[in-house]
């Protein structure tokens, strides 16, 4: 386990947002080094390769939507990038995931939900609010393999989508089999692309297939939990 005293996390937003998220992060990763920034422009100046993760309030006025994060992802390809917003539309979530965001948290979440989301994001998982994109009572009846590594980066829903994608099914076919909307499947596919650090479905299939021997639950991204000692 690496010493995490120098693992830096940037929190960007107004004072109330920064202090609230900082408190949650300190509870999860007590020894993390937290830096605060008031706005996106300030964050761009501060961010460098020494930062491990950044969490943004995306409802700020100066942001140019997902475009801002697409440019940030180019400059910081390995950065864990979480956002928090009051907007819960599937289209908005998809646009940010496609721009390179690795975790999308809803402002209306309870404290327990916020803590869970932040913990998942800092552990290297791709996080999407399940109550927004998954209708209740529609979990896919797919037997998941026993993961050979702990800290899986994929949710059961993402595993279901990935299994069918590897069989060559289209988004519409996956939606029909899992009782989801095609739009929801598109969000899951976007999350999977981020998780395996690829840009195309064909590359995703190749990356996931290469990991069959280790269980497809495994996320292609190097597990962040090996770099951060996440508190239980």
Residue 230 within a domain = no
In a domain, 229, yes or no: no
Residues 94 and 203 reside in one and the same domain: no
Q: How far apart are CA 195 and CA 126, in angstroms?
A: 6
Question: Do 208 and 148 share a structural domain?
Answer: yes
190 lies in the same domain as 140:
yes
Q: Based on the domain organization, do 14 and 121 belong to the same domain?
A: yes
Per-residue model confidence (pLDDT) at position 12: 95
Q: Mark whether 114 and 182 lie in a shared domain.
A: no
CA–CA separation, 6 vs 50, rounded Å? 8
Predicted confidence (pLDDT) per residue in 94-136, tens digit: 788 878 888 899 988 888 999 999 998 888 777 888 766 554 4
Contacting residues for 217 by C-beta, under 8 A, at least 6 apart: 144, 145, 147, 149, 152, 153, 154, 159
Number of folded domains in the chain?
2
If asked whether residues 90 and 142 sit together in one domain, one would say no
Q: Are residue 31 and residue 143 in the same domain, yes or no?
A: no
CATH number of the domain residue 199 falls in: 1.10.10.10
Asked whether residue 1 is assigned to any structural domain, the reply reads: no
Domain with 143 in it: 136-224
Domain boundary among 92, 107, 132: 132
Task: Identify whether residues 144 and 122 lie together within a single domain.
Answer: no
Does one domain contain both 85 and 125? yes
Note whether residue 126 is domain-resident.
yes
Q: Please indicate, yes or no, whether residues 115 and 26 belong to a single structural domain of this protein.
A: yes
Q: Residues 1-43: pLDDT tens digits? A: 334 445 899 999 999 999 999 999 998 888 889 999 999 999 9
Q: Are 111 and 155 within one domain?
A: no
Average pLDDT over residues 202-224: 50
Q: In whole angstroms, what is the distance from residue 142 CA to residue 227 CA?
A: 32
For the segment 159-173, the average pLDDT, to the nearest whole number, is 85
Domain final residue, candidates 85, 105, 132: 132
Note whether residue 39 is domain-resident. Answer: yes
Question: Reading across the β-sheet that carries 51-57, which strands appear in turn?
Answer: 33-37, 8-12, 51-57, 80-85, 103-106
Domain boundary among 132, 167, 183: 132
One domain for residues 106 and 158: no
Provide the percentage of residues in the chain whose pLDDT is more than 70: 72
pLDDT of 202 strictly over 90 = no
What CATH number is associated with residue 93?
A: 3.40.50.2300
In a domain, 3, yes or no: no
């Amino acid at each position: 386990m690496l010493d995490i005293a120098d693992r830096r996390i940037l929190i960007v937003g107004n004072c109330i947002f920064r202090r609230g998220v900082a408190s949650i992060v300190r509870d999860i990763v007590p020894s993390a080094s937290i830096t605060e920034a008031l706005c996106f422009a300030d964050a761009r100046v501060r961010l460098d390769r020494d930062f491990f993760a950044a969490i943004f309030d995306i409802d700020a006025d100066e942001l140019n939507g997902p475009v801002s994060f697409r440019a940030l992802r180019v400059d910081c390809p390995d950065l864990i990038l979480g956002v928090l917003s009051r907007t819960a539309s599937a289209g908005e979530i998809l646009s940010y995931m496609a721009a390179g965001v690795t975790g999308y948290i809803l402002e209306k979440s309870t404290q327990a939900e916020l803590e869970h989301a932040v913990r998942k994001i800092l552990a290297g998982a791709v996080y999407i609010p399940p109550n927004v994109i998954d209708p209740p009572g529609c979990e896919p009846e797919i037997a998941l393999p026993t993961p050979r590594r702990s800290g899986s980066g994929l949710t059961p829903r993402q595993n279901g989508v990935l299994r069918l994608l590897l069989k060559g099914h289209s988004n519409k076919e996956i939606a029909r089999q899992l009782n989801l909307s095609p739009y929801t499947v598109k969000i899951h596919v976007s999350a999977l692309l981020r998780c395996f650090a690829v840009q195309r479905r064909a590359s995703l299939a190749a990356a996931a297939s290469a990991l069959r021997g280790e269980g497809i639950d495994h996320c292609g991204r190097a597990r962040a939990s090996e770099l951060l000692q996440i508190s239980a």
